[in-house]
Amino acid sequence: MTRSLLIANRGEIARRIIRSARRLGVRTVAVHSDVDAAMPFVREADAAVCIGTAAASDSYLRTDRLLAAARETGAEAIHPGYGFLSENADFAEAVIAAGLVWVGAPPASIRVMGLKDAAKARMIAAGVPVTPGYLGEDQSPERLQREADAIGYPVLIKAVAGGGGKGMRRVDAADAFAEALASCRREAAAAFGDDRVLIEKYILSPRHIEVQVFGDTHGHVVHLFERDCSLQRRHQKVIEEAPAPGMDPATRGAVCDAAVKAAKAVDYVGAGTIEFIADGSEGLSADRIWFMEMNTRLQVEHPVTEAITGQDLVEWQLRVASGEPLPKTQDQLAINGWAMEARLYAENPATGFLPSTGPLERLRFPRGLRIDSGVEEGGEVTPFYDPMIAKIIVAAPTRAAAANKLARACGKVEVWPVRTNAAFLARAAADPDFVAARIDTGFIERHADRLIPAAEPSEPVLQAAAHALLPPRGTVPWTALHGFRVNAAADLCVAVAVAGRTHLVTLTERPQATIADGVLYLAGEAWPFGPPRAGEQRRQAWCGPQYPPGQHDPRP
């Protein structure tokens, strides 16, 4: 086992690696930009080195500074985490050339699987099923149009060097192909410096199924079963789960065997993910699941695999990189229960998911869960890096129980003043179609109206705020009987200011909300509230005897 490890990454994944390394007795070195100096991962590492300014190009993407930091601190190995340089074959080769241990995939495997056309060609040769399509050398618009026509619409144009949804276009008819191709190529050239594309048959009810694989330097490869990552927004994963709903043993066996075959075809070592696209229109079946691509690194969603298998995948990475055989054989691995992960982002769904940055004056999560977070209360979400606040991970015996647990957990998140997608996540996890596993990659777009919270406070929020402003009930009848009337139902209205706007609320039942420092937290939402300013009550609407603290009867 290596004795010291430099982590060439930041935030949540750096903290995740530190936890496993500390348990194994491995000394850790954090590298950070100047704006990350006060981040938790820097404090938690055994040593830390500043490697540049906020721009990733001047810090986390600087191979020379990362290697210099390793030499300066005596690190023996480098773990790239995910993102940044984790799938950069040149960086991996530079680490190895410097005499350091690379905790990642072999550079040759990264290169082969990094280009979608080369990866698919290798998979075809290995007998792994791939999506019907064209990945030939002839990139002329005329040839690509003919191939698309032959495949049959809809088709998907994908950048050969693409990722993250960039350089990807769906085309539904032949007359729209040329324009979509030109647009796709422009985006691919700008994002990856490579405008080559491939054509695939577009699956109308697609599900994103991926298999966790692991290889060692002794020629062993195993899988740790599958994950379903179908809940996506603009090709970005939102909620992941393991195992995949509706996966029968025969189909699981076929897909996982294909994933192992794919990894062996590129002599894979370390943690990797074989991604498949499945036609879920008639349920999951081995003959309707095709290889899509391989991620040659640890995935953001790896905790759900850890939860159902009981394995520590970072520990596996460190042991394999040190030359040890895989900790488990295939027959020693089994699925136990169900797990789900939601990605909590600093973004506002009500404004089109625009990023929300700033200080984290309050950051609270429900207890008893696994929370992988890169920030903490009192810290800050900056505009320089990915705005993910945390991963909320739950495990339960059944899928229904896991979904319920995740919905409740997301609904109890308290973040202020940064806006988050917590309420959106809670609604998604509780949605009847999600609970019933009626899912595909278009789920969020299809149900956006019922998943995305409104920009205005909901009735439960207004009720909770109004109840919070009432004076405490006393023993005097005039205050104890709120809204009492002879021969009429009790009817009490309270004026309350929520998010700067005054609302008149007729009280009903009081929702269970958390209130702290003038902010109300309910169902994953956060709203500032208090009594309205003098003169803002709508006088004609008052009909009960109680008024906000410090206010008088507004009626003439």
Give the residue numbers marked as catalytic. Answer: 297
- Distance (Å, rounded) from C-alpha 319 to C-alpha 1? 6
Sign of CA dihedral 348, 354, 360, 363: positive
Angle at CA of residue 238, ends 390 and 41, nearest 5°: 20
Q: What is the distance, to the nearest Å, from the Cα of residue 31 to the centroid of all Cα atoms in its chain?
A: 23
Q: Are 378 and 360 in contact (CB under 8 A)?
A: yes
Q: What phi and psi values does residue 254 have, to the nearest 5 degrees?
A: -65, -45
- Distance (Å, rounded) from C-alpha 56 to C-alpha 84? 8
Strand partners, 353: none
- Distance (Å, rounded) from C-alpha 340 to C-alpha 403? 7
Element (H, E) at 450: helix 448-451
Q: What is the DSSP string of 348-403?
A: EGGGTSEE--EEEEEEE--SSSEEEES--TT-EE-TTS--EEEEEEEEESSHHHHH
Element (H, E) at 42: helix 40-44
Nearest to 71 by CA among 26, 6, 25, 1: 6
Q: If DSSP states are collapsed to H, E and C, what string results for 258-315?
A: HHHHHHHHCCCCEEEEEEEEEECECECCHHHEEEEEEECCCCCCHHHHHHHHCCCHHH
